[in-house]
Structure 1
Amino acid sequence: MGMTNVGNLLELRRIYSRGITGKGITTAVLDTGIYAHPDFFIPRNKIVYFQDFIRNRKGPFDDNGHGTHVSGIIASGGRLGDGSGIGVAPESGIVMLKVLEKDGSGKIKNMLKGMEWILLNHEKYGIRIVNISVGMPVKNIENPEEEELVKKVEQLWNTGLVVVVAAGNDGPAPYTITSPGTSRKVITVGTGKEAGGDYSGQGPVPGTCVCKPDIIAPAINILSCDNHGKNYKRRSGTSMATPIVSGTVALLLSNEPWLSNRDVKIRLMQSALDCGMAKSRQGWGLLNPEGILRI
C-alpha cells in the first residue's frame, strides 16, 4: 500500500480493461463545492450540476478544497506518470451541492436543503449515489434514529438511492460514529489500522443495536484534485474513504444498472475482506472492488 493514489491502491486496471469506468452514473456530493479542475474535463465535462445552498453564488467553485478532493476521488479522469488513475470511476458524473462553509463547517438546515433538492431532482440528473463525507456529533443519544439528518438520509435511501456516509474521525473510542452515519439503512464508511487510520468513528450506535461502520476503505494520504491550478493534494480521513466506496459503487452500477441500493449493500457485504478487527471497527471488512464486480 505504498502508493496512495486510488488507482494503484485498489488495483482497478482489470476493471477498466473491461470498459467499466462509471459511465452513465452520477453521484450527488454534499460538500464545500467543486473547483473546475482540468481532471473533471477528461474525457468530457463531469460536473453535471452545481448549486450553492449557502450564499447562492454561481459556480462551480470551492473555497475550501475538501469537496474538490472528494469529487476527484470519485470522478477525476487524471492519470499519473505511471498510468494509474486518480479517480475511481473516471467517466462518472458529479452533482455538487455546496452545503459546507469555507472553513468546512456546515449548518444542518443547509444539509437538509441539499438533501431535499436531491429528493426532487435525482431522476432529472441521473443521480444514483449520494456521497456525504461530513458528519455531526450525535445530539440525541437516547434515540439517534430520530435525528433530522438521519431521517432525511433514510428518505433518500427509501427513494432507491445508494447513500454513502463517513463514519467520522472522532474514534477510536466506541460510540463515536457521527450523524447521519448512524442510520441503519445507509452505507457507513470507516477506515482501519491497515488503511492507516486510528481515528475512525466506531460503533455500536448508542441507544440501538446497529453495528457500524458497515465497511472500511483506505483513507491515509489519498491523492486527489486540489482547488487551484492543475494541482493535487494528499488528504486523510474517513472523508476520503467514503468517496472511494462511492466511486466503486459507480463502477458497479455502470456495469449492472439494474441493481437496487439493497443489492449494492449486500454485494459490498459479501465481497468485503476480513481484516481480523472487531466488527465495531471494520464492519464487514475492507472494500474489495474486484469482488464487488465479480471479475
Structure 2
Amino acid sequence: MFSFKNKIDFRLKQSLEMNIYKNYRVIIQCKNLQKNIEKRIQSGGGKVIRYINHCNIISASISSNLIRRLLEYPEVEFITFDSFAFLCGRSVVSSNRAYIGDSYKLTGKNIGIALIDSGVYPHPDLLIPRNKIKVFVDMLEGYKYPYDDNGHGTFIAGLISGSGQMSEGRFRGIAENSDLYCYKVFNSMGRAYVSDILSAIDDALGRSSKDNIKILCLPFEILEHDNFINNCFSVSFKCCIHKGIFPVVPSGSIECKEETMMGLALIKECITVAGIDISNEIKEFKYSSSNGNRKLDKPEIAANCVDLCSLNTNKNYISERAGKKLYPQTLEEPYTSYSGTSCAVAYICGICALLLENNPSLTFKDLISLIKVSSELVPISKSVQGNGVININKLLP
C-alpha cells in the first residue's frame, strides 16, 4: 500500500498504520471516472456523502481496507481527511455597540449573497418589510425552513442585510436590500466539514446566473496548513470569479502576531478582511490574524469587528417536525453584541454589494482596486490592516 505514499495524506497514512478508527471520513480527489470510484466505494461497503463536481472530489466514510484498495486505482489522485473549518469570532457582552449602517443611495438591491455559515433564524429584520432569505439549504439535517442552532449565521446575515425593523432602523445592515442565499453547513458547536462547505459553494455556483449571486461570504477559518485543502478552495474560488462571484474571507482569529495567518486567508483568489478595534480609539484587535510576509498582499482590507450589534437568535428553535413547518416565538432580546473578524467580513460583503449594485459590470480585479484606492492606513501595524480602512466617502456615490 505505502508505495502509493504520494497519493495519501501523511496524517491519514499514520492513522491507518496505527489502526485508530474503523471508518474514516475522507476526501478523495479523482483524475477522471469519478462515477466509477463512487460505485467502488458503495460496493466496498462505504458511504458516499458529497460530490463536488467543480473540484472532482468525493467525500465518503470508508474503512481502512477500502482506502487501501482505492489507492490502487489510477483514477484516484489523492486521499486525505475531510478537515474541519471553524467559525471566526468571540462572543462578548458589551454596552458599546458599534453601528455600521448609514444613509446611502445604494442598498444592495437585487444583489445575491451566498452566506455559508450556521444557518439563519427567521428574524423580523430579515422578513420585514420583505423576506431577504431567498434560499435556505440545510446541509446537515435537510430541513426546508430556516433555523440557526448556533447564532453566528443570523448575526452575520443581520450585519449584511437586516432591515432594522425591531430597532426603528438603528441596527440595519450595510446592504439592507441585498438577497441572502443561506447554507447551513456549521453545526451548533461552530464546526463544519470542508466537503460540506465545498458542496455549498458548488450549489451557489449552480444558482448564480439565475439568482444573480455575486458575493460569497465565508466567515470561517481552517486552522491548519494543508496544501491540498487550500488548493481545493483555490480551484473553487477561481470557478466563482469566472462566474462573477467574489469570495470574501476573514484573516482568522489567531492572535495578531507576525505570520499567524493561514488557510483560506492566504489564497490569492479572494478578498481577505482583517478586524480592528475602533470602538473607542483605533487599535489592533487581539484576535485578528496577521501576515508577516511582505510579498503577500494579505489582508487586502480591515474593518471594525469589535462590539457590533446585530440579530439575536433562539438556538433551541427547530424549523420543522415530521415535515411540518414550525413557527418561532417572539425573541425577548431581538439584538445581541459580538466581536470577531467574521463581523469585518460581513461589513465588506455589504460594501461589495453596494458597489456591484452601482456598477454590475465590475470584475474581481476592479473590486479589489476600488477597495484599495479608497482605503486609508491607520496607526497600527500594516501586517494587521493591509491597505487600511475603507473611507466610505471616497468609495460610494
Change (3 A) 1:195 1:69: farther
Select the residue among 127, 131, 142 that pairs with 2:217.
Answer: 131
CA distance in structure 1 between the aligned counterparts of 2:170 and 2:259, rounded to whole angstroms: 37
Query: Gaps (5+ residues) in structure 1?
Result: none
Is the contact between residue 195 and residue 218 of structure 1 (CA under 8 Å) also seen in structure 2?
Answer: no
The one of the two structures with greater contact order (alpha-carbon pairs below 8 A, sep at least 6) is 1
1:281 corresponding residue in structure 2: 384
For residues 88-99 of structure 1, what are the structure 2 equivalents within 5 Å? 88-99=174-185
- Corresponding position of 2:303: 217
1:6 paired to 2:107: no
Instruction: Report whether the alignment pairs 1:182 with 2:270.
Output: no
- The structure-2 alpha-carbon separation of the partners of 1:171 and 1:42, relative to structure 1 and needing over 3 Å to count, comes to same
User: In the TM superposition, what is the alpha-carbon distance from 1:113 to its structure 2 partner?
Assistant: 0.6
What is the aligned length? 281
Q: Secondary structure at the match of 2:181?
A: strand
TM superposition shift of 1:185: 2.0
Secondary structure of 1:181's counterpart equals helix
Q: Residue 289 of structure 2 aligns with which residue?
A: 201
Paired residues of 2:118 and 2:190 also in contact (CA < 8 A): yes
2:147 aligned with 1:44: no
Unpaired runs of 5+ residues, structure 2, are 1-95, 315-329
Question: What is the deviation of 1:53?
Answer: 1.2
Measured against aligned partners, the alpha-carbon deviations of 1:169-195 in whole angstroms (never above 9, x if no partner) come to 112122222421211121001112426
Structure 1: which 4+ aligned runs deviate by more than 4 Å? 79-83, 143-146
* Per-residue CA distance 1:29-54 (angstroms, 9 max, x = gap): 00000011000123211101010112
Deviation at 1:79, TM superposition (A): 5.2
Please, what TM-score do these two structures have when normalized by structure 1? 0.88
8 Å CA contact 2:124, 2:165 repeated in 1? no
1:125-164 deviation digits (Å, cap 9, x = unpaired) = 2101110000102323xx5895322332232223221111
Query: Structure 1 residues 6 and 268 mapped into 2: Cα distance closer, same or farther (>3 Å)?
Result: same
Say which of 110, 130, 147 aligns to 1:61.
Answer: 147
CA gap of 1:73–1:146, structure 2 versus 1, over 3 A, is closer
d(CA) in 1 for partners of 2:169, 2:187 = 35
Q: State the 1:117 CA deviation.
A: 0.9
Structure having the higher strand fraction is 2
Pairing partner for 1:168 from 227, 230, 252: 252
Give, in whole Å, the separation in 1 of the partners of 2:268 and 2:231.
Answer: 13
Give the drift of 1:210. Answer: 1.8
Does residue 266 of structure 1 match 2:355?
no
- The answer (yes or no) to whether the contact 1:28–1:96 under 8 Å persists in 2 is yes
Cα RMSD for the two superposed structures: 2.1
Letter in 1 for 2:107: T
Distance 2:132 2:385 in 1: 32
- Shifted more, 64-73 versus 258-267: the winner is 258-267
Q: Which has the larger radius of gyration?
A: 2
Alignment check: 8 A CA contact 2:119 2:183 kept = yes
1:237-272 alpha-carbon deviations (Å, 9 max, x no partner): 001110000011111111222222221111001001
The match for 1:103 is: 189
Is the 1:204–1:212 Cα contact (8 Å) retained in structure 2? Answer: no
- TM-score, with length taken from structure 2: 0.67
